[in-house]
Structure 1
Amino acid sequence: MKLAFATTTALLLTACSGGLKVVESDLQHHQWKLIAIDGITVNSDIQSELEIGEHLSINGRAGCNRFFGSATLTQGKLKAEPLASTQMACLPDVQQVETAVLMTLTEGAIVSHDDQQLELKGEQYTLSYELADRSQ
């Protein structure tokens, strides 16, 4: 009984002290759709997405270009190194989204995560994603 109380207390203290720590397994095997940058809704026609796979391999569409690479997760910060992408010219509004996504991934971002939402808070941008519906 005392062990169960101590374990519950430790979990509650961890949750109250800034949230539970994000680990690699929380992020892997999910596909995310970008819904906002700095709280401003992204045009759904842009279809920016992020997929995080095994061992934090990442790929997706930043704006009009595809990207791929690998990432690390250190002290709650996700950073993509190296990151490669195609080099097509984008329309100006799409280029703004692309720049925010690629910059945030390569510079690194603090991760906040729950079952349906992913937030990447970088130095310049905060990217908000929702879990993609794979049936589409």
Structure 2
Amino acid sequence: MKLALAATTALLLTACSGGLKVTESDLQHHHWNLAAIDGVAVGADIQSDLEIGEHFSINGLAGCNRFFGSATLEQGKLRADPLGVTQMACAPEQQKVEAAVLNTLTQGATVQHSGQQLELKGEQHTLTYQLADWVQ
């Protein structure tokens, strides 16, 4: 009984400290909507999303341009490089969001995943996504 209690306590402490490793299967087949950049909510008029699919393909809307490619997840860090990106002109606010998203994805970001929320913490920005739904 004491051994089981000690093991459960150790597991809970590890989970609370962020020690549980995020795997590709935790992130695949989900559609995420960008909710905040650096803790500041993204305006409702700016749509930005992220989908991670089979074989860790990645695509979405950065700010006003679509992006696509493949990503890797190594030692808890997500990186998508190179990314293909459409080349439409963006409004200044959309461009700020787009630059933060594309830079974070291509430079690499530490992943924190807690059910309905995905956080990508890069060198310059922290992107917070909310789960929209499951995708094929």
- Mark yes or no: TM-score above 0.5: yes
Residue by residue over 1:75-101, the C-alpha shift from the partner in whole angstroms, topping out at 9 and shown as x without a partner, is 100000221110111000000000000
2 CA distance for matches of 1:133 and 1:55?
18
Where 2:71 maps in the other structure, the secondary structure is strand
Q: CA RMSD in A?
A: 1.8
Which residue number corresponds to residue 47 of structure 1? 47
Question: Does the alignment pair 1:121 with 2:117?
Answer: no
Letter in 1 for 2:79: K
Alignment of 1:1-136 (within 5 A): 8-133=8-133
C-alpha distance 93-131 of structure 1, shift in aligned 2 (>3 A): same
Residue by residue over 1:82-135, the C-alpha shift from the partner in whole angstroms, topping out at 9 and shown as x without a partner, is 21110111000000000000000000000001110000000000000101157x
TM-score by length of 1: 0.89
Gaps of at least 5 residues in structure 1 are none
1 CA distance for matches of 2:3 and 2:25?
27
| Percent identity of paired positions between Structure 1 and Structure 2 | 75
Gaps of at least 5 residues in structure 2 are none
Higher relative contact order (CA 8 A, sep 6+): 2
Where 2:12 maps in the other structure, the secondary structure is helix
C-alpha distance 89-39 of structure 1, shift in aligned 2 (>3 A): same
2 CA distance for matches of 1:2 and 1:101?
47
Q: Kindly tell me the number of residue pairs found equivalent between the two proteins.
A: 134
C-alpha distance 133-71 of structure 1, shift in aligned 2 (>3 A): closer
Q: After the TM superposition, which parts of structure 1 deviate over 6 Å for at least 4 consecutive aligned residues?
A: none
C-alpha distance 101-113 of structure 1, shift in aligned 2 (>3 A): same
Judge which range, 1-10 or 18-27, deviates more.
Answer: 1-10
- Offset, 1:6: 6.6
Judge which range, 101-110 or 5-14, deviates more.
Answer: 5-14
Where 2:45 maps in the other structure, the secondary structure is coil
TM-score by length of 2: 0.89
